[in-house]
Protein backbone atom coordinates (compact mmCIF):
# COMPACT_ATOMS: atom_id res chain seq x y z
CA UNK A 1 0.00 0.00 0.00
CA UNK A 2 1.12 3.55 -0.69
CA UNK A 3 0.21 7.02 0.53
CA UNK A 4 -0.36 9.70 -2.12
CA UNK A 5 -1.41 12.27 0.49
CA UNK A 6 -0.85 11.88 4.21
CA UNK A 7 -1.03 14.27 7.15
CA UNK A 8 1.16 14.09 10.25
CA UNK A 9 1.64 16.31 13.28
CA UNK A 10 4.77 17.11 15.25
CA UNK A 11 4.98 18.69 18.69
CA UNK A 12 8.04 20.93 18.48
CA UNK A 13 9.46 24.12 19.93
CA UNK A 14 11.55 25.94 17.33
CA UNK A 15 12.25 29.42 16.01
CA UNK A 16 12.55 28.15 12.43
CA UNK A 17 10.11 29.40 9.83
CA UNK A 18 7.82 26.64 8.43
CA UNK A 19 9.55 26.70 5.02
CA UNK A 20 12.99 26.27 6.58
CA UNK A 21 11.78 23.51 8.91
CA UNK A 22 10.18 21.65 5.99
CA UNK A 23 13.49 21.79 4.10
CA UNK A 24 15.41 20.48 7.11
CA UNK A 25 12.96 17.60 7.63
CA UNK A 26 13.08 16.61 3.95
CA UNK A 27 16.87 16.55 4.11
CA UNK A 28 16.62 13.74 6.68
CA UNK A 29 13.84 11.73 5.01
CA UNK A 30 14.38 8.91 2.48
CA UNK A 31 13.95 9.84 -1.19
CA UNK A 32 10.47 8.30 -1.50
CA UNK A 33 8.99 10.41 1.34
CA UNK A 34 8.61 14.16 0.98
CA UNK A 35 6.88 16.78 3.13
CA UNK A 36 4.92 18.93 0.68
CA UNK A 37 3.61 21.58 3.06
CA UNK A 38 4.18 22.46 6.71
CA UNK A 39 2.17 24.90 8.78
CA UNK A 40 1.45 25.69 12.45
CA UNK A 41 -1.57 23.93 13.98
CA UNK A 42 -3.62 24.27 17.14
CA UNK A 43 -2.04 22.67 20.20
CA UNK A 44 -4.84 20.07 20.42
CA UNK A 45 -4.65 19.09 16.73
CA UNK A 46 -4.12 15.37 16.16
CA UNK A 47 -3.53 14.13 12.60
CA UNK A 48 -5.26 10.80 13.21
CA UNK A 49 -7.95 11.43 15.80
CA UNK A 50 -8.98 14.76 14.29
CA UNK A 51 -9.76 13.32 10.86
CA UNK A 52 -13.43 13.13 9.88
CA UNK A 53 -13.02 11.10 6.67
CA UNK A 54 -10.39 9.17 4.72
CA UNK A 55 -10.14 8.11 1.10
CA UNK A 56 -8.44 5.12 -0.55
CA UNK A 57 -7.83 4.67 -4.26
CA UNK A 58 -7.33 1.22 -5.79
CA UNK A 59 -5.69 1.61 -9.17
CA UNK A 60 -2.75 -0.11 -10.86
CA UNK A 61 -2.54 -1.49 -14.39
CA UNK A 62 -0.74 -4.71 -13.45
CA UNK A 63 -2.99 -5.36 -10.46
CA UNK A 64 -6.07 -4.53 -12.51
CA UNK A 65 -4.96 -7.05 -15.11
CA UNK A 66 -4.61 -9.66 -12.36
CA UNK A 67 -8.11 -8.87 -11.12
CA UNK A 68 -9.46 -9.12 -14.67
CA UNK A 69 -7.81 -12.50 -15.09
CA UNK A 70 -9.35 -13.80 -11.88
CA UNK A 71 -6.00 -14.68 -10.30
CA UNK A 72 -7.18 -13.90 -6.77
CA UNK A 73 -9.88 -16.58 -6.94
CA UNK A 74 -8.65 -18.85 -9.71
CA UNK A 75 -11.02 -17.36 -12.28
CA UNK A 76 -10.89 -17.96 -15.99
CA UNK A 77 -10.05 -14.46 -17.18
CA UNK A 78 -13.59 -13.11 -17.56
CA UNK A 79 -13.50 -9.32 -18.19
CA UNK A 80 -14.84 -7.23 -15.31
CA UNK A 81 -18.25 -5.57 -15.64
CA UNK A 82 -17.57 -2.15 -14.11
CA UNK A 83 -21.27 -1.17 -14.23
CA UNK A 84 -22.24 -4.22 -12.16
CA UNK A 85 -19.44 -3.42 -9.70
CA UNK A 86 -20.67 0.17 -9.38
CA UNK A 87 -24.18 -1.03 -8.63
CA UNK A 88 -23.03 -3.50 -5.98
CA UNK A 89 -20.67 -0.92 -4.48
CA UNK A 90 -23.67 1.01 -3.16
CA UNK A 91 -24.29 -1.86 -0.71
CA UNK A 92 -21.17 -0.80 1.18
CA UNK A 93 -22.33 2.79 1.67
CA UNK A 94 -23.67 3.74 5.09
CA UNK A 95 -22.92 2.36 8.55
CA UNK A 96 -22.23 -1.39 8.49
CA UNK A 97 -20.43 -4.09 10.44
CA UNK A 98 -17.35 -5.03 8.38
CA UNK A 99 -16.36 -7.97 10.58
CA UNK A 100 -16.13 -10.25 7.53
CA UNK A 101 -13.84 -7.76 5.78
CA UNK A 102 -11.07 -7.57 8.37
CA UNK A 103 -8.79 -9.74 10.49
CA UNK A 104 -9.50 -7.42 13.41
CA UNK A 105 -11.66 -9.05 16.07
CA UNK A 106 -14.50 -7.30 17.92
CA UNK A 107 -12.40 -7.62 21.09
CA UNK A 108 -9.82 -5.29 19.48
CA UNK A 109 -12.43 -2.62 18.83
CA UNK A 110 -15.65 -2.02 16.96
CA UNK A 111 -15.81 -3.39 13.41
CA UNK A 112 -18.59 -0.98 12.46
CA UNK A 113 -17.52 1.61 9.87
CA UNK A 114 -19.43 4.39 8.12
CA UNK A 115 -18.61 4.40 4.40
CA UNK A 116 -19.53 7.63 2.67
CA UNK A 117 -19.08 6.52 -0.93
CA UNK A 118 -17.67 3.75 -3.10
CA UNK A 119 -17.09 4.76 -6.72
CA UNK A 120 -16.14 2.44 -9.55
CA UNK A 121 -14.89 3.81 -12.86
CA UNK A 122 -13.48 2.19 -15.98
CA UNK A 123 -10.63 4.09 -17.64
CA UNK A 124 -9.25 2.25 -20.66
CA UNK A 125 -7.70 -0.98 -19.43
CA UNK A 126 -8.20 -0.05 -15.77
CA UNK A 127 -11.08 -0.59 -13.39
CA UNK A 128 -10.64 1.93 -10.57
CA UNK A 129 -12.25 1.94 -7.15
CA UNK A 130 -12.27 4.87 -4.73
CA UNK A 131 -13.61 4.43 -1.20
CA UNK A 132 -14.31 7.25 1.26
CA UNK A 133 -15.11 6.43 4.88
CA UNK A 134 -14.87 7.60 8.46
CA UNK A 135 -11.99 5.17 9.01
CA UNK A 136 -10.89 1.74 7.77
CA UNK A 137 -10.11 -1.61 9.35
CA UNK A 138 -7.09 -3.77 8.58
CA UNK A 139 -7.45 -5.28 5.07
CA UNK A 140 -10.97 -3.86 4.75
CA UNK A 141 -10.40 -1.91 1.52
CA UNK A 142 -8.60 -4.75 -0.26
CA UNK A 143 -11.37 -7.20 0.65
CA UNK A 144 -14.05 -4.81 -0.51
CA UNK A 145 -12.25 -4.53 -3.86
CA UNK A 146 -11.85 -8.31 -4.07
CA UNK A 147 -15.56 -8.86 -3.49
CA UNK A 148 -16.45 -6.20 -6.07
CA UNK A 149 -14.16 -7.98 -8.56
CA UNK A 150 -16.24 -11.14 -8.03
CA UNK A 151 -19.32 -9.09 -8.92
CA UNK A 152 -17.51 -7.80 -12.00
CA UNK A 153 -16.80 -11.36 -13.09
CA UNK A 154 -20.41 -12.38 -12.59
CA UNK A 155 -19.71 -14.77 -9.72
CA UNK A 156 -21.37 -12.51 -7.13
CA UNK A 157 -24.38 -10.20 -7.25
CA UNK A 158 -25.29 -7.15 -5.20
CA UNK A 159 -27.43 -9.35 -2.93
CA UNK A 160 -24.33 -11.42 -2.12
CA UNK A 161 -22.44 -8.28 -1.09
CA UNK A 162 -25.30 -7.24 1.20
CA UNK A 163 -25.36 -10.73 2.71
CA UNK A 164 -21.62 -10.57 3.52
CA UNK A 165 -22.31 -7.41 5.50
CA UNK A 166 -25.18 -9.05 7.41
CA UNK A 167 -23.68 -12.48 8.10
CA UNK A 168 -20.12 -13.42 9.19
CA UNK A 169 -18.23 -15.11 6.34
CA UNK A 170 -14.66 -16.04 5.44
CA UNK A 171 -15.32 -15.40 1.72
CA UNK A 172 -13.91 -11.82 1.68
CA UNK A 173 -10.63 -13.09 3.19
CA UNK A 174 -10.23 -15.55 0.30
CA UNK A 175 -10.89 -12.75 -2.20
CA UNK A 176 -8.48 -10.13 -0.78
CA UNK A 177 -7.13 -7.97 -3.61
CA UNK A 178 -3.33 -7.47 -4.02
CA UNK A 179 -1.87 -4.74 -1.76
CA UNK A 180 0.40 -2.95 -4.22
CA UNK A 181 -2.44 -1.16 -6.01
CA UNK A 182 -4.05 0.29 -2.89
CA UNK A 183 -3.13 3.92 -2.13
CA UNK A 184 -4.08 6.24 0.70
CA UNK A 185 -5.52 9.11 -1.31
CA UNK A 186 -6.68 11.84 1.05
CA UNK A 187 -7.62 12.68 4.65
CA UNK A 188 -10.28 15.26 5.53
CA UNK A 189 -10.68 17.43 8.61
CA UNK A 190 -13.52 19.56 9.93
CA UNK A 191 -14.09 22.44 7.52
CA UNK A 192 -12.41 20.77 4.51
CA UNK A 193 -14.32 20.57 1.23
CA UNK A 194 -15.75 17.09 0.59
CA UNK A 195 -14.09 14.73 -1.86
CA UNK A 196 -15.31 15.92 -5.30
CA UNK A 197 -17.03 13.60 -7.81
CA UNK A 198 -14.51 11.54 -9.70
CA UNK A 199 -13.22 12.80 -13.01
CA UNK A 200 -10.72 11.09 -15.34
CA UNK A 201 -7.94 13.47 -14.31
CA UNK A 202 -8.12 12.14 -10.75
CA UNK A 203 -7.16 8.70 -11.92
CA UNK A 204 -4.05 9.59 -13.92
Sign of the torsion formed by the C-alpha atoms of 126, 74, 118 and 58? negative
Per residue in 2-53, pLDDT (tens digit) is 556 677 778 888 888 888 888 888 888 888 788 888 888 777 877 666 665 6
Predicted confidence at residue 74, as pLDDT, reads 41
Mean pLDDT over 119-139 rounds to 81
Mean pLDDT over 121-132 rounds to 79
What is the pTM assigned to this prediction?
0.66
Predicted confidence at residue 57, as pLDDT, reads 66
Q: What percent of the chain has pLDDT over 70?
A: 69
In the chain, where the domains are located: 53-190
Predicted confidence at residue 198, as pLDDT, reads 44
Report how far Cα 113 is from the mean position of its chain's Cα atoms.
Answer: 13
Average pLDDT, the chain: 76
Backbone angles phi, psi at 186, to 5 degrees: -165, 150
CATH top class, domain 53-190: alpha beta
Task: Examine the pLDDT at 75 and tell me if it is beyond 50.
Answer: no
Mean pLDDT over 98-114 rounds to 86
Amino acid sequence: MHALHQVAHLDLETAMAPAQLRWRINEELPADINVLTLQPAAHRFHARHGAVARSYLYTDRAAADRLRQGVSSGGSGTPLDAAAMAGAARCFEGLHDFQSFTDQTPEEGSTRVKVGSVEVREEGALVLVRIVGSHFLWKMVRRMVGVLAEVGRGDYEADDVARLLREPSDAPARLTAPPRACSWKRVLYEGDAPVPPIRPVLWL
